[in-house]
Amino acid sequence: MEDLVLESSSFEDDGTIPKKYGYKHGNNSPPLKISNVPENTKSLVLIMDDPDAMGAVGKIWVHWVVWNIDPESEFGENSIPSNCIEGKTDFNEIGYGGPAPPDKEHTYLFKLYALSEKINAPSGSTKGEIESIIKDLIIDQCVLKGRFSP
């Protein structure tokens, strides 16, 4: 079985995320393509965060939390698949919050998790709440990295 894959037509893995996806440059979410989803997957979770923010703001900055994504889904540019739910970012907003490094180039992680079941969490839940719910449900996971400079 091949491993779960998350790709974007807008940037290569570990490549530069185009400016229009930045928080201060349009704040459009990038298109994302999901493939090689394990057969027994009931839902997917996507978490986008910025571990490099630790140096600038003292924590890993959360940019996007999306769950109950149908395994057959794709994310169009600036849209999410139907029926999935979005959580709260560290911008204190629900939905996508694009890259906004305050100091230098940061690497952003788009982490995709394949789960054995759908999860029950209200819109606006935090990354921490979602991670604690899914920890025992993860079948497979992958990461798409993108870099962004101020």
Write out pLDDT tens, residues 28-37.
999 999 999 9
Rounded Cα distance, 54 and 36, in Å:
32
Tokens for 70, please give them. 């149908």
Are residues 102 and 24 in contact, defined by beta-carbon separation less than 8 angstroms? no
Give the domain ranges of the chain: 5-148
Rounded Cα distance, 104 and 150, in Å:
6
Whether 1 shows a pLDDT value over 60: the answer reads no
| Class at the top of the CATH hierarchy for domain 5-148 | alpha beta
Average pLDDT, the chain: 96
Rounded Cα distance, 44 and 39, in Å:
12
pLDDT given at position 102: 92
Tokens for 132, please give them. 């604690």
Q: What is the pLDDT of residues 15-57, one digit of tens each?
A: 999 999 999 999 999 999 999 999 999 999 999 999 999 999 9
